[in-house]
Amino acid sequence: MRTWFPVVALALPLLTAAAAAQQPAPDPFVFATPTRLTYDREFPALHYERAPADNRVVRLQQQLEAGQVKLAFSPPRGYLDSLLKALDIDVSSQALVYSKTSLQKGLISAATPRALYFNTDTYVGYVRQRPDAVNAQIEIATLDDRLGQVFYTLDNTAPAGNAQSAPQLRRRTVTCLSCHDTYELSGGGVPRFLLMSSYVDIHGNQLTHEYQILTEDETPIKYRWGGWYVTGQTGRQVHVGNLQVHDVQELVHLDQIRRGNLDNLDGLFDTAPYPTDKSDVVALLVLQHQVTVQNLITRVNFQTRQALAGKGGVGGLPAARRKELDDWISQLADALTFANAAAITDTIRGSSGFDHWFQAQGPHDGQGRSLRELNLQDRLFRYPVSYLIETPAFDALPDYARERVYTRILQVLRGEAHDAPRPAVPADDLKAAVAILKATSPDFAHFLATHT
């Protein structure tokens, strides 16, 4: 079992090229030289310090600068509602976390949880601000097709006077990466998104170090969502969300203090300042899967590009380095095919409408089928291949990595992979998954045509 930690803390500037000329004095937290970033020493082929160009946040900043999109500031949430709309993020994705895991941790508690919103590649973190706040920020993380996880903030204060300049989505590096790459100090780390489950009190403070885990797809549901609110139905399946305790002694009688199967959170705190009174269990499950896979995509991207730089192809790699690379690629392929995924043992139902919004995103084949179709009875998704294989970040992986993942997926879909437990899938759904991939992923369709 791997180590298992809520998404997003976010850290400090370097912005889009279009906005660079309008930036204020350099942020003192940004490294003056690229070599101060560990990635630039260990993965020089990636150039993580360069300005990102292939992500949703960069494109939004360019639209803001061009006047094509405007963000409206509207109390009490400031830019949040307008930002979510501009980033194509639905409020039904809202997940509320009250453990103190953010740059603005002093504002987080069970009464004022941090709200997280997401779509397929971008995450927005919002913390309610005090009336006298002068440094209010919205935290943003996104998956750049080439650079992996990159982090931004947006000042969430009312524009001064008749200010006409566009709001700035500022890139953050150092402070965010101090948490968003906890393996960096031992070498070989890469940026990643983080989800944590931890016992905390009503003030959001950690109660015990004995239960604090970084969660992944394989983390059993009974260990998930400590420090999070959870709405919706999980049947007889228990978890550690929604706990509101004052001291560690209350955890001795855990079964007596659980709050499961809540349709909304109105009875636990004042939900009026938030866009919705939900923290949807289906959104939380999809979020966990998405983060797990995206972290592996970034790991494979960094490792493969660095390994192949200047080697003239995989044939030039030492055998040990090639095996290390293949091990990372195998982990990604397993995550994309739900190997070792935590079991779902009772029907799950959401409460926010996230399930409908998520499934509608597609892409769909000619029969209206999509890899986003949910099951929620004995597994998370209906089909045995993740929708994340259809995303630009996966498409941007080096050919060697993509082709090895495709080879593994074909084994799974043909029933030839038996080395790791996967949810049982009917034969018709295995066949349908191949048809969906052929219709929605031109790269996979080409691979299939040339390797079968």
Name the nearest CA neighbour of 148 among 25, 302, 320: 302
**Whole-structure pTM over 0.85, yes or no?**
yes
The pLDDT score that the predictor gives to residue 438 is 95
Count how many residues are written for the chain. Answer: 452
381 close to 419: Cβ distance less than 8 angstroms: no
CA distance 62 to 16: 8
Dihedral sign for Cα atoms in the order 30, 31, 33, 34: negative
436 close to 428: Cβ distance less than 8 angstroms: no
The half-sphere exposure of 105 on its side-chain side, counting CA atoms within 13 A, is 14
Residues of the chain with pLDDT under 50: 1-35, 185
Burial class (CB in 10 A: 0-12, 13-18, 19+), 275: middle
| Number of other residues whose CB lies within 10 A of the CB of residue 314 | 18
Specify the DSSP class assigned to residue 280: B
| Number of other residues whose CB lies within 10 A of the CB of residue 279 | 31
Burial class (CB in 10 A: 0-12, 13-18, 19+), 51: middle
Dihedral sign for Cα atoms in the order 441, 444, 446, 449: negative
CA distance 185 to 181: 9
The SS3 call for residue 118 is strand
Record the tokens describing residue 340, joined without a space.
């070792």
Specify the DSSP class assigned to residue 427: H
CA distance 220 to 258: 17
The pLDDT score that the predictor gives to residue 18 is 30
Q: What is the pLDDT of residues 87-114, one digit of tens each?
A: 999 999 999 999 987 777 788 999 999 9
Name the nearest CA neighbour of 257 among 245, 270, 239: 245
Rg (CA), the chain: 22
Gap between the terminal Cα atoms of the chain: 35
The pLDDT score that the predictor gives to residue 260 is 75
b/e 215-243 (16+ beta carbons within 10 angstroms → b): bbbbbebebbbbbbbbbbbbeebebbbbb
Nearby residues of 428 by Cβ (< 8 Å), 6 or more positions away: none
Q: What is the pLDDT of residues 381-405, one digit of tens each?
A: 999 999 999 999 999 999 999 999 9
347 close to 380: Cβ distance less than 8 angstroms: no
The pLDDT score that the predictor gives to residue 32 is 33
Specify the DSSP class assigned to residue 195: -
Cα 308 to the center of its chain, rounded Å:
27
Question: In the β-sheet with 114-118, what is the strand arrangement from edge to edge?
Answer: 95-97, 114-118, 122-126, 137-144, 148-155, 169-172
Residue with tokens 């790991």: 299
DSSP 233-252: B-TT---STT---SSGGGGG
The pLDDT score that the predictor gives to residue 270 is 95
Strand pairing class (95-97; 114-118): antiparallel
Dihedral sign for Cα atoms in the order 250, 255, 256, 259: positive
The pLDDT score that the predictor gives to residue 51 is 82
CA distance 365 to 367: 5
Burial class (CB in 10 A: 0-12, 13-18, 19+), 22: exposed
| Number of other residues whose CB lies within 10 A of the CB of residue 320 | 8
Phi and psi based region of residue 374 (left: phi greater than 0; alpha: psi -120 to 50; beta: remaining): beta
